[in-house]
């Protein structure tokens, strides 16, 4: 539900645009190899 809210599903104005979300995802990738995200 939180992700849909962030993406603006059903909201008049999305708190974070898709482009910004992609930018953050690239800046802070999931690091599964060293286990820091576990």
- Which pLDDT tens digits describe the chain residue by residue (38 residues)? 677 766 666 655 556 688 888 898 899 887 777 666 55
pLDDT of 1 reads: 63
Q: How many Å apart are CA 27 and CA 16, to the nearest integer? A: 15
pLDDT of 28 reads: 87
pLDDT of 38 reads: 53
User: Which residue bears the tokens 């992700």?
Assistant: 3
Kindly report the backbone phi and psi dihedral angles of residue 36, in degrees, each rounded to the nearest multiple of 5, phi listed first. -70, -25
pLDDT of 18 reads: 85
- pTM for this predicted structure: 0.38
User: Are the C-beta atoms of residues 23 and 29 closer than 8 Å to each other?
Assistant: no
Domain spans of the chain?
1-38
- CA end-to-end distance (rounded Å), the chain: 21
């Amino acid at each position: 539900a939180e992700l849909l809210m962030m993406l603006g599903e059903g909201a008049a104005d999305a708190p974070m645009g898709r482009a910004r979300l992609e930018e953050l995802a690239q800046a802070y990738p999931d690091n599964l190899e060293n286990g820091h995200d576990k």
